[in-house]
Structure 1
Amino acid sequence: MKRREIATGLGAATLAAGAAMAQSPLSRATPPPMIGAITEVPGIKVGHFTDSRRPTGCTVILTEEGATAGVDVRGAAPGTRETDLLNPANLVEKVHAVLLSGGSAFGLEAATGVVRWLEEKGIGYPAGPARVPIVPAAILFDLGLGDHRIRPDAAAGHAACEAASAEAPAEGSVGAGTGATVGKLFGMARAMKGGIGTASVRVGAITVGAIVAVNAVGDVIDPATGEVMAGARDAEGRRPFGATAGILRGELPPPMQAGMATTIGVVATDATLTKAQCGRLAGAAHDGLARTIDPIHTMSDGDTVFALATGKSGLPGNMMALGAVVPHVMAAAVLRAVRAAKAVGGSPPGMSELR
């Protein structure tokens, strides 16, 4: 009996402690607001080019002194350049820029302008008599807004480099996020504007940042509240519909051509990492996309995230800590992208009504 009483007492104490924790603010603690930008990471500059002729553009993330890089591609319809080079088994260790661009596959041409700008500055991988700038790139589909014949080209990439600085970059309907849209699962007529967003946080002596152009098939959801921030609207265009919830209720989406969306981004840190570790960090960033975009990584998305390590802190990266923090930084950047987005010329009617 005594043993039973002791066991019961311990159980009651444990339950009481659990109940107290459930009421404690600590049990519901969320990360502090992330209000910085990826440019808080030493060694990173960002520049936008926004094409005023239609909603499109590109964004360059410059690492002029070189940064170790990795990539993780999860979407089924990616458009990329130089991603094979980021395999840890391959030769080149550092990149000099990453380009994010609208314009679908045509937009990859903008990376040529980034390469030209870096070459003009004498920046690149030593290769015989030349220095070859290493510029991985990824594109998103925004040809559905305005004149599809207008898309970022080499001149656009060069202009983005000219505009680059270590100041906090503009967010919303600029650069690669200019023509971005979200909530396209039930057609563009029920979609809303996406955009580009950035965030950063300090982890001890290490800085972690993210920038992302949000152009998803799915809805953007605040993980803290479950609220649809931007996404598919109901048939009347008056309120968020909840794309996945609609499917579960039995409303199936119409057929959608592959490659009509895509969310692309970069996470960066001033820690010292290997290429393999950068690849793992890029993978962790996709967790941030999964927390804020539903559905994610679909057959019509080419979701791609790069990771950069500038090593400017002189400290080795704690992968456990970085892997825990990076999804939160990426999620914050996604939410900031849609909160800052504005309707632009060529948007479907009503696309900005819920802003």
Structure 2
Amino acid sequence: MSTTPSSPAPAGAITDVAGIEVGHHTDPRRPTGCSIVIARQGAVAGVDVRGAAPGTRETDLLAPGNLVEQVHAVLLAGGSAWGLDAASGAVRWLEEQGIGLDVGFGRLPLVPAAVLFDLPVGDARVRPDAAAGYAACAAASRAHPAEGNVGAGAGAVVGKMFGFGHAMKGGIGSASVTVAGVTVGALIACNAVGDVVDPETGQPLAGARTPDGQALRDARRALLRGEAPHPLLAGSNTTIGVIATDARLSKAQAQRLATVGHDGLARSINPVHTMSDGDTLFALATGVRESHPGMMVLATMAAEAVARATVRAVQAAHTLRLPDGTVLPAMRDLGHSLGLR
């Protein structure tokens, strides 16, 4: 089965959005890591949680009816709920830069966060902490961010539906779309229980492999023909990410952008939003562009950027060999350098 997408590799990155910076910190001991999306001038934000087992921080303040209008960064991390500690390091770094909400006694950086479950990869006692979040911020820039086995994608794995031993390496990816002078970009860390598929054809690109490990099983078709999935620990899979635009949006519109971004996950992951996933997407609007082509167009752009970034997460990944001998092949290696065919 081919693992080459029919559509051309997407170009661009979330940092094509004016006012957005991205930094990664990767801990090679496991591996695991965290990624930060920074809006130094603040950004109107929204969030939509679709998975049944999320790990998040500061999501309630993003509700349209709540007081705070802007946040200053969004953190994505491995390490399950322990990884939320990385956000405190990001807050410290941002405060040192004078970035945050003026509360009269200082500037308070607002940093919502979401985590994914990468604990089966290596020593689970190694996870992102405050120092990791601080380091990710210190590394942030406007350059196109690294993709694949870095940051929040360092320990990501996809296709665990039929057992961890038949899964493949996930990762983190980015993409952007520009229409009428307005840009929408996405940064996606994919640790899904399902397969990553080509949004144009539905063809599986990375995910659950056949029992002999030599090809993709196609999880959707396998489930529909009656193959039973392996028991899954709740919350042990998740795709998390950030959508950003330079358009000027209200909080309600930013929340809608996060909501429609999940359409991009539905096009590029199958199955998605399961009881074992904690799928969470944030949206940031920097407001640099005073006009935009309307929410219908922005919604279409957001879904497209998310789908492309999800594909990039597995296209850019590299094969991971664990100390116990488990090999998690990457899309680029399946059936080639691993000698599986």
Q: Tell me if TM exceeds 0.5.
A: yes
Partners of 2:160 and 2:74 in 1: CA distance = 27
| Partner of residue 99 from structure 1, selected from 60, 63, 75 | 75
Aligned residues of 1:39 and 1:168 also touching (Cα < 8 A): yes
Match of 1:230 among 206, 211, 218: 206
How far off is 1:34 after superposition? 3.5
- The SS at the match of 2:143 is coil
- Map Cα deviations across residues 320-355 of structure 1 (whole Å, 9 max, x no partner): 110122111111101111010012342863421517
Of residues 286, 305, 308, the one that matches 1:332 is 308
> Given that residues 271 and 317 in structure 1 are in contact (C-alpha distance below 8 angstroms), is that contact kept between their aligned partners in structure 2?
no
- Number of the residue aligned with 2:244: 268
Q: Which has the higher strand share?
A: 2
TM-score of the superposition, structure 1-length normalised?
Answer: 0.89
Match of 1:123 among 99, 103, 109: 99
Q: Which has the larger radius of gyration?
A: 1
Deviation at 1:250, TM superposition (A): 1.2
Decide whether the 8 Å contact of 1:55 with 1:346 is kept in 2.
no
* 2:326 corresponds to: 349
Cα-to-partner distance string for 1:127-163 (whole Å, 9 max, x where unaligned):
1212110000000000001000000000000000000
Equivalence map 1:169-208=2 (5 Å): 169-208=145-184
Q: Does 1:254 align with 2:230?
A: yes
Shift of 1:33: 5.9
Question: When the two structures are superposed, what TM-score results if normalisation uses the length of structure 2?
Answer: 0.93
User: Is 1:53 aligned to 2:36, yes or no?
Assistant: no
The equivalent position to 1:150 in structure 2, one of 94, 102, 126, is: 126
Letter in 2 for 1:354: L
Q: CA RMSD in A?
A: 1.5
Superposed, which structure 2 residues align to 1:162-173 within 5 Å?
Answer: 162-173=138-149
2:205 alignment partner AA = M
| Equivalent residue, structure 2, for 1:89 | 65
User: How far is 1:238 from its partner?
Assistant: 0.8
Q: Could you say which residue in structure 1 is the equivalent of 2:254?
A: 278
> What secondary structure, in the 3-state scheme, does the structure 2 residue paired with 1:58 have?
strand
Query: Partner letter of residue 117 of structure 1?
Result: W
Letter in 2 for 1:351: L
> How far apart, CA to CA, are the structure 1 residues paired with 2:9 and 2:25?
28
Q: Give the residue type in structure 1 aligned to 2:278.
A: G
Say if 2:182 and 2:292, in contact at 8 Å, map to a contact too.
no
Answer with 56-65 or 31-40: which moved more.
Answer: 31-40
2:94 pairs with 1:114 = no
Q: 1:119 to 1:89 in 2, by over 3 A?
A: same
Partners of 2:7 and 2:176 in 1: how far apart? 12
Counterparts of 1:7-86 in structure 2, within 5 Å, are 34-86=10-62
Could you tell me which amino acid in structure 1 is paired with residue 179 of structure 2? Answer: V
* Larger helix share, 1 or 2: 1
